[in-house]
Amino acid sequence: MSATHCPYCSLQCAMSVTPAATSDAVPQVSPLDFPTNRGGLCQKGWTSASVLRASDRLTTPLVRSAAGELVPSTWDAALDVIETRIRRIWAERGREAVAVFGGGGLTNEKAYTLGKFTRLALGTPYIDYNGRFCMSSAAAAGNLAFGLDRGLPFPLADLGGAQAILLVGSNLSETMPPAVQHLEGVRSRGGLVVVDPRRTPTAALTDDGAGIHVQPLPGTDLTVLLGLLHLVLARGAVDHAYLVDRVAGFEEVARSVSLWWPERVERETGVPVATLRAVASTLIAASPAHGGSGAYVLTGRGAEQHAHGTDTVTAAINLALALGLPGRRGSGYGCLTGQGNGQGGREHGQKADQLPGYRSIADPAARAHVASVWGVDPDVIPGPGVPAMQLFARLAEPDGVRALFVHGSNVVVSAPDSADLATRLAALDLLVVCDFVPSETALLADVVLPVTQWAEEEGTMTSVEGRVLRRRAAVAAPAGVRSELDVWSELARRLDCPVPLATDPRAVMDELRRASAGGVADYAGISYDRLDAGEALYWPCPSDEHPGTPRVFLDRFAHDDGKAVMRVVSPAPVADDLRRDAPLFLITGRVLQHYQSGAQTRRVPDLVRAAPRGFVQIHPQTAARLGIEEGNPVRVTSARGSCTAPARLSGEVRLDTVFMPFHHPGAETANLVTNPATDPISGMPEFKVCAVSVSSHEG
Ligand code: SF4
């Protein structure tokens, strides 16, 4: 039996994994008591060991034949193909014709090594990862406001004492159910406010006096937040002493929201004035400046996955700062990161503009430090790359990227406008996918490399609250499978990388600690030995003696002057707004049983039985108007394309909105329809809203 953590979301619930009596049987998972999950697991966690024994588990490399089929190969032959083609592409088109796409589920050790492999072995600036699609806008807003981005800058359990929580765009009842325990306190105090265009299970937690559900028009969260700040100002309820002491930019922001009076906000968002006033009252009463016991503002993907996601999160942070919440014990702002290592994944160098330690790759001092750890000249490290959607736009272009490595991501299902991306992937000179199952993206590859997965590997993950956790091997990997650390090391050797890459996770972690030392995300004091001894280590943790930092910002924010910065933001229209031929909004999200692209959870029999297919959730009145009945096949069409799925009639959605989960492949792929327009600051695509037509679809 090994103590480890769930392979899926950023809550990183603690569990034990016990091998079965025979190697082909499913290991047993049991929950462990831990501050985030308190002995709970969701259905995904309970069944997570099934993926270890997936019937189509990849155990041998696959190489596409001249006839176009993926056929089994030896490791040597598969790596020969990669080496030969990369060298040819380099000779014909240069180093920048090769790119890498990583994932927020990779361990810290893998995320670190993938960045190093890309910059040193491949010599290309072009690396980015699927965290760009997850919380990049919140990360950008956090960096701008606080000078540091740590999803939750406080332990999750702190929420238990809150008098009010404003939850904007998060359906944690389905995405991370054990976290709901931390809302029980605020519900009992009547202070839970959920902003969501859908009446999700999380929104339903506000029933019976537990709080308020705010159900705005999709794409108008920012306006709602401006309206709330307007009301706080109008009531003279800002925390003046805190603002003078700890915040810059308040006066400009205060002036900018003067025009967002409640009636105007109601007109633009559909949220009644009375609701806005009630929410403002709840937050004001809970804020420490008014004698409350504390309030939190939290954002999730619903607020963040927009072409103006950074501004929306900034509006949430502005509201929190005006109330004097961030950097105060018992109050704060936080982002509920989604992927298992969504936090660590963005700290160690697989993001286009970053080096380990959450350092800027454009900063000469950062480059010199990391180069010294890597044992290379700083000039060897390429400059910044480009965010994911710009990277994708270069794929298969004549002078663009001709070869792509994909790790820990199933972009054919998870990226917006996915048909265009699939076409580009298929046209590459070389697509290499490392995975443990034949995902939809792997099936397009020229070379598929079978790799280890969670309970087969050692490493660390950094959870939603910035706490570094040990992932431990509990079962042996199948014969024929290798760790990605081995793959990158071997490829680096073949491609004449100037330095060897370590393959032992502990050795990688020790190097990561040195590379991150002195950076914003400082892991220098976080070792396997300390974690194995049971220490709860949150970054920054700059030395072996340092206890870690569960709550950042208590004394100062991370900007040079120690102050947080408020920034003027204003609403912008949805990038793909309603029109005569597309009169409904599509919003996308997750369901309880599935995780991200579903590449793992769609292989778990219990989960497939419970949620076998995608669906189009549509209001009964809208369905009646369109002649659609429960279960009818429905076609959803946008300017990008169409997808089809059975209708599910429900009053949970607005009359002007339909909802689809984004876990399902083929014709049910919701991302065939979503909009690739991106946030100019963070590169976040506008997953959460686009204009569609909906019709009955036969066939
Ligand atoms: Fe916990 Fe998330 Fe795993 Fe569910 S999916 S058990 S909430 S870590």
Question: Does the CB atom of residue 284 touch ligand 1 within 6 A?
Answer: no
Question: Does the CB atom of residue 182 touch ligand 1 within 6 A?
Answer: no
| SS3 state of residue 277 | helix
CATH topology for the 72-133+341-538 domain: Rossmann fold (3.40.50)
- How many CB atoms are closer than 10 A to CB 30? 13
Testing ligand 1's pocket by substitution, the residue of 176, 343, 600, 663 carrying the most ligand atoms inside 8 A of its CB is 176
- What is the rounded CA–CA span in Å between residue 595 and residue 104? 13
In angstroms, what is the C-alpha Rg of the chain?
24
- How many CB atoms are closer than 10 A to CB 567? 18
Q: Ligand 1 centroid to 235 CA: how many Å?
A: 41
pLDDT score recorded for residue 196:
98
Q: Ligand 1 centroid to 380 CA: how many Å?
A: 40
- What is the rounded CA–CA span in Å between residue 692 and residue 555? 48
Question: Does the CB atom of residue 8 touch ligand 1 within 6 A?
Answer: yes
Distance of CA 257 to the CA centre of its chain: 30
Q: Ligand 1 centroid to 171 CA: how many Å?
A: 13
Q: Which residue's CA is the nearest one to ligand 1's atom 2?
A: 9
Testing ligand 1's pocket by substitution, the residue of 4, 5, 9 carrying the most ligand atoms inside 8 A of its CB is 9
For residue 176, which atom of ligand 1 is closest to its CA? 7
Residue 463: HSE in the Cβ half-sphere, 13 Å Cα cutoff? 27
Q: Ligand 1 centroid to 164 CA: how many Å?
A: 25
For residue 48, which atom of ligand 1 is closest to its CA? 3
| SS3 state of residue 3 | strand
**Would residue 469 be called left, alpha or beta, if left means φ above 0 and alpha means ψ between -120 and 50 degrees?**
beta
String of DSSP letters for 442-466: GGG-SEEEEB--GGG--EEEE-TTS
For residue 41, which atom of ligand 1 is closest to its CA? 6
pLDDT score recorded for residue 163:
98
State the virtual CA torsion across 190, 192, 197, 200 in degrees, nearest 10: -90
Q: Which residue's CA is the nearest one to ligand 1's atom 4?
A: 42
Question: Does the CB atom of residue 42 touch ligand 1 within 6 A?
Answer: yes
The secondary structure of residue 9, as a DSSP letter, is B
Question: Does the CB atom of residue 178 touch ligand 1 within 6 A?
Answer: yes
Instruction: Pick out the chain residues at pLDDT < 50.
Output: 699
Write the CA distances from 160 to 5, 64, 189, 289, 293, integer angstroms.
22, 53, 11, 19, 11
Q: Ligand 1 centroid to 589 CA: how many Å?
A: 16
Q: Which residue's CA is the nearest one to ligand 1's atom 1?
A: 13
Question: Does the CB atom of residue 607 touch ligand 1 within 6 A?
Answer: no
pLDDT score recorded for residue 324:
98
pLDDT score recorded for residue 391:
97
Q: Ligand 1 centroid to 588 CA: how many Å?
A: 20
Q: Ligand 1 centroid to 6 CA: how many Å?
A: 6
Q: Ligand 1 centroid to 186 CA: how many Å?
A: 22
The secondary structure of residue 226, as a DSSP letter, is H
Testing ligand 1's pocket by substitution, the residue of 4, 6, 12, 593 carrying the most ligand atoms inside 8 A of its CB is 6
pLDDT score recorded for residue 698:
66
pLDDT score recorded for residue 171:
96
- Residue ranges per structural domain of the chain: 2-53, 72-133+341-538, 136-335, 584-696
Testing ligand 1's pocket by substitution, the residue of 4, 16, 34, 41 carrying the most ligand atoms inside 8 A of its CB is 41
Question: Does the CB atom of residue 5 touch ligand 1 within 6 A?
Answer: no
Place of tokens 């088109």: 93
String of DSSP letters for 353-415: TEETTTEETT-HHHHHHHHHHHTS-GGGS------HHHHHHHBT-TTSB-EEEEES--HHHHS
Phi first, then psi, for residue 175 (nearest 5°) are -85, -35
Question: Does the CB atom of residue 176 touch ligand 1 within 6 A?
Answer: yes
Question: Does the CB atom of residue 9 touch ligand 1 within 6 A?
Answer: yes
Domain 2-53 has CATH 2.40.30.10: no
Are 86 and 98 spatial neighbours (Cβ–Cβ below 8 Å)? Answer: yes
For residue 11, which atom of ligand 1 is closest to its CA? 8
For residue 36, which atom of ligand 1 is closest to its CA? 1
- What is the rounded CA–CA span in Å between residue 20 and residue 206? 42
Domain 584-696 has CATH 3.30.365.10: no
pLDDT score recorded for residue 543:
98
Question: Does the CB atom of residue 469 touch ligand 1 within 6 A?
Answer: no
- Give a three-class secondary structure readout of 610-676: HCCCCCEEECHHHHHHHCCCCCCEEEEECCCCEEEEEEEECCCCCCCEEEEECCCCHHHCHHHCCEE
The secondary structure of residue 344, as a DSSP letter, is G
- Name the CATH architecture for the domain at 136-335: 3-Layer(aba) Sandwich (3.40)
Torsion sign across C-alpha atoms 416, 418, 424, 429 = positive
Testing ligand 1's pocket by substitution, the residue of 10, 12, 13, 604 carrying the most ligand atoms inside 8 A of its CB is 13
Q: Ligand 1 centroid to 683 CA: how many Å?
A: 27
Q: Ligand 1 centroid to 272 CA: how many Å?
A: 35
Torsion sign across C-alpha atoms 157, 158, 161, 167 = negative
Q: Ligand 1 centroid to 77 CA: how many Å?
A: 38
- What is the rounded CA–CA span in Å between residue 618 and residue 625? 11
Are 392 and 423 spatial neighbours (Cβ–Cβ below 8 Å)? Answer: no
The secondary structure of residue 49, as a DSSP letter, is G
Are 671 and 292 spatial neighbours (Cβ–Cβ below 8 Å)? Answer: no
Torsion sign across C-alpha atoms 382, 80, 92, 420 = negative
- 70-72/564-565 β-pairing: unpaired
Phi first, then psi, for residue 581 (nearest 5°) are -90, 0
pLDDT score recorded for residue 1:
84
Question: Does the CB atom of residue 37 touch ligand 1 within 6 A?
Answer: yes
| SS3 state of residue 467 | strand
| SS3 state of residue 247 | strand
Could you tell me the two tokens for 277? 């006033």
Q: Ligand 1 centroid to 460 CA: how many Å?
A: 16
pLDDT score recorded for residue 135:
87
- What is the rounded CA–CA span in Å between residue 386 and residue 650? 41
pTM: 0.96
Q: Ligand 1 centroid to 76 CA: how many Å?
A: 37
Question: Does the CB atom of residue 370 touch ligand 1 within 6 A?
Answer: no
Could you tell me the two tokens for 293? 């016991």
pLDDT score recorded for residue 24:
83
Could you tell me the two tokens for 556? 């100062």
String of DSSP letters for 62-121: EEE-TTS-EEE--HHHHHHHHHHHHHHHHHHH-GGGEEEEE-TTS-HHHHHHHHHIIIII
Question: Does the CB atom of residue 13 touch ligand 1 within 6 A?
Answer: yes
Among 688, 690, 684, which Cα is nearest to 135's?
684
Testing ligand 1's pocket by substitution, the residue of 17, 30, 37, 38 carrying the most ligand atoms inside 8 A of its CB is 37
The secondary structure of residue 27, as a DSSP letter, is P
Phi first, then psi, for residue 221 (nearest 5°) are -55, -40
Task: Enter the ipTM.
Answer: 0.99
For residue 42, which atom of ligand 1 is closest to its CA? 4
